[in-house]
Every structure is written in structure tokens, then in C-alpha cells.
Amino acid sequence: MKRNFGRVRAMGRRDFVKLAGAAVAGAAVLKSAPGQQLNERNYDSATISIRLVEDQPGVTSLILTEHGDATYVLVEAFYWTTQKINGRDVRLLLYKETTTPLSKGANMMTDLPMTLASIVFLRVKEMSLLKQTEFGERPA
């Protein structure tokens, strides 16, 4: 009789260890999820700060903050892809681009139709647009 009780007790310990392990793993996932976002990247320079966030699957939002004098920005996001060319798989570096006006110290937002994980690097072109002048008769 002691032998059966010992087995039941040992099985209970194993089940307890499994249950405790699962609870610790679940707590670790819950603990890290709210504090850390794995779908976010930040880049800073002397003239601009960029935060990339993938809130929706397949769409990366760019939040830009201008520190310099630029009034417009062009962002090119480069990514790798493979295409068949003459029957061979060729790896290509392509890019998608987006533009948005800027205002010093204000957050501006634009979207890129691609996943954050696929972005290899960014090229950011900050520009100052000329003032608009109109000549001739304007339509009423």
C-alpha cells in the first residue's frame, strides 16, 4: 500500500513541477509583453528622430520629429527580395518610399506598406521647400 501511495505522490510532484513551470513561463510572457514592444525601432540624429512601429500586420508607421530646419522628408525603406530572372533566383535589394511634411518640434506620421522585420535600412532625405509664389490671374 505504501508503494502505491509513493507512486501517486511522485506523479503528483511531477504534475506540480509541470504546472509550476508552465505558470512561471506564462508569467514571464505576461511580464515582458506590456513593458517591451518587439515591433518597434527608434533612430535619432542631430536633425531628426524616427520611431517605427508595426501596429497593424504588414503596415509600418513612422513617427518623425524634426529638430532642424527641414520642411519635408522623403524616407526610403530598403528590403531584400528574391525574384526569378532568366530562370534563376536572384536576390535584389529594393525599396519603398514615403513622404511627409515636417514642422520643427512636432510629431508627424506616415505609413509604409511593409513589415517592420523586412526593413534592412532607411535612407532619410530632409528638404527645405521653397516658398510658393504665384504669377498671373488666379481663377475666381
DSSP secondary structure letters along 84-138: EETTEEEEEEEEEEEEEE--BT-EEEEEESS-GGG--EEEEEEE-PPPP---SPP
**pLDDT, position 12:** 52
Q: What is the CATH number of the domain that holds 111?
A: 2.60.40
32, 93: one domain = no
19, 50: one domain = no
45, 104: one domain = yes
Task: Please name the residues in contact with 107: beta carbons below 8 A apart, sequence gap of 6 or more.
Answer: 63, 64, 65
19, 45: one domain = no
Task: Please name the residues in contact with 55: beta carbons below 8 A apart, sequence gap of 6 or more.
Answer: 39, 61
Q: Nearest Cα to 64, choosing from 120, 116, 103?
A: 103
pTM value surpassing 0.85? no
Q: Residue with C-alpha cell 497593424? A: 56
Residue 29 falls inside a structural domain: yes
Q: What is the domain count for the chain?
A: 2
74, 57: one domain = yes
**pLDDT, position 90:** 94
31, 44: one domain = no
* Distance of alpha carbon 130 from alpha carbon 101, whole angstroms: 13
Q: Which range of residues forms the domain containing residue 10?
A: 1-36
**pLDDT, position 126:** 92
* Distance of alpha carbon 101 from alpha carbon 98, whole angstroms: 11
49, 73: one domain = yes
Amino acid, res. 135: F
pLDDT (tens, 9 = 90+) of the chain, 140 residues, equals 444 444 444 445 555 444 434 333 333 333 333 444 568 999 998 999 999 999 889 999 999 999 988 899 999 999 999 999 999 999 999 999 999 999 888 899 999 999 999 999 999 999 988 777 778 887 76
